[in-house]
Amino acid sequence: MIGGAVINTVIGAGIKLGANILNAWLEQKKQAQMLLAARDQKMMDALISNQVKQASNPFVQVTRRMLFLSITFTLCFMMIYYAMNPGIQYDVIVPRGESSKWGLFSWVTGGKDFEVVRMTGGLLLMSFMDLAFMVIGFYAIPSRRR
């Protein structure tokens, strides 16, 4: 009878010891995750404060507006110019055959076969529109989300 009580006490103590070891291991993992989260939060705070400082820099503000206005005015000029002169055509050299899959960068990959393609001003304007609207949207829409 006493042997059963001793064995039950030893089993209870073993379970308690195992639970303490498991809790200590889980707590250490939790502390490591909290340290990583705090480090990541400090890095994010530093990044955001740097962006806020740069956004409030007058030089950055002026250059962003100059880029926005120059691309917008170039787009407006091209639209008016090609509307007034619809017969304008340009000869453009483009890659031909297998090397054409790399587009403009085919000269880097060793494209040796090229052809001359004739583009109208309207087609050139259409090619410029994607870039223009992408840049106009980037510079014109303020980003206040932090």
For 88-117, how does the pLDDT look when each residue is reduced to its tens digit (9 = 90+)?
A: 898 887 777 766 666 666 666 666 677 888
Q: What integer is the mean pLDDT of 63-74?
A: 84
Q: Residue 109: CB partners within 8 Å, gap ≥ 6?
A: 99, 102
Query: Which residues, 6+ apart, have CB-to-CB distance to 78 below 8 Å?
Result: 121, 124, 125, 128
Could you tell me the pTM of the whole model?
0.47
Q: What pLDDT sits at residue 109?
A: 65
How much is the average pLDDT of 52-67? 78
Quote the mean pLDDT of the chain.
Answer: 79
pLDDT reported for residue 99: 62
Which letter, b or e, does each residue of 61-82 get, where b requires 16 or more Cβ atoms within 10 Å of its Cβ? eeeeeeebeebeeebeebbeeb
Confidence check: pLDDT of 128 > 60? yes
Sequence spans of domains, the chain: 1-56, 58-140
Residue 115 bridge partners (DSSP): 94
Give the pLDDT confidence score for residue 106 in this predicted structure. Answer: 62
Mean pLDDT of 114-143: 79
d(CA 141, CA 24): 51
Query: Hey, how many other C-beta atoms are within 10 angstroms of the C-beta on 133?
Result: 13
